[in-house]
Amino acid sequence: MSSPFPPPQESNCPTELPHGTAEPQHQYRNYTEGKLLERVYHTYRLMHTHQTVDFVRKKCAQYGPCSQRRMTVMEALELLDELVDESDPDVDFPNSFHAYQTAEGIRRAHPDKDWFHLVGLLHDLGKVLALFGEPQWAVVGDTFPVGCKVQKSVVFGDSTFHDNPDTKDPRYSTEYGMYQPRCGLENVLMSWGHDEYMYRVMKFNNFALPKEAFYMVRFHSFYPWHAHGDYEHLCSEEDLRMLPWVRELNKFDLYTKQEELPDVQQLRGYYQSLIDKYCPGELCW
């Protein structure tokens, strides 16, 4: 079944900064220097040590039923006022502001796609996991497939996987590992974090959004794939069709990060109307 939404045009590729961003791109996602580098490296070292096939399966079973608590989208967003992402080398302010920055960037560029504006607001809401007691290495940061060989573009991949037992397991240490060629990302076990958790929340609560929205949320942190072209041997035709959408979200997720914070009170009414339209009321998390 073909999607009613054509993929973004190539002219909207991530090499173009969204309107309103001022900093050159090379200052973003700098993992070689910067005042936050020690904190970022520590988070990835723990992630790459403990994210295993067994760990991910355990977390999928724990959070899949969405039985942690009940709350609205706005209540979840307000919880992110308390969270600073320890894997992010670019910002040191609460994640709730980043949600509005991303959403407003998309709104300016795609004024006719209100569902996409909401995706910008929702995409990181899964980080409430950190406020449910999960360590940040099991919540934030770039994702990668577990159960197969780690590809070169994984952040700090050459120095942080030495103590991960899966790298020494012959079932999981080859290029395909436990997967079949072109099996599709929906059949791949990704490292556990806010992407997969929020995708499961959206599915469980039957968000009235197009499939592109679910896909973007689920794979927006999979930078080794959508930014570097790794793991394509696991991708299906559907994954490749969705790739432009993931990249479109990414340029707003990344390039709208600014120290000048949005006026949340002024914006709240518009985004509440989108929540009421697509995912109203108290949800299961």
Check the annotation: does 87 bind a ligand: yes
Check the annotation: does 236 bind a ligand: no
Is the torsion defined by CA of 138, 139, 140, 141 positive or negative? positive
Check the annotation: does 221 bind a ligand: yes
Residue 100's contacts (CB-CB under 8 Å, 6 or more residues apart) are 121, 262, 264, 267, 271
Check the annotation: does 142 bind a ligand: yes
Check the annotation: does 29 bind a ligand: yes
Buried b (16+ CB within 10 A) or exposed e, 267-281: eeeebeebbeebbee
Check the annotation: does 123 bind a ligand: yes
CA distance 265 to 96: 12
Residue 159 Cα distances to 42, 45, 152, angstroms = 11, 8, 11
Identify whether the C-beta of residue 85 lies closer than 8 Å to the C-beta of residue 127. yes
Residue 205's contacts (CB-CB under 8 Å, 6 or more residues apart) are 66, 279, 283, 284
Q: Is 284 helix (H, G, I), strand (E, B) or coil?
A: strand
Check the annotation: does 11 bind a ligand: no
Q: Within the chain, how many helices (H) and strands (E) appear?
A: 10, 2
Check the annotation: does 98 bind a ligand: yes
Check the annotation: does 218 bind a ligand: no
Indicate the helix (H) or strand (E) that contains 54: helix 53-63
Residue 224 Cα distances to 13, 62, 99, 109, 272, angstroms = 17, 26, 22, 25, 33
Check the annotation: does 124 bind a ligand: yes
- Residue set of the binding site for substrate: 29, 85-87, 127, 141-142, 220-221
- Residue set of the binding site for Fe cation: 98, 123-124, 194, 220, 253
- Residue set of the binding site: 29, 85-87, 98, 123-124, 127, 141-142, 194, 220-221, 253
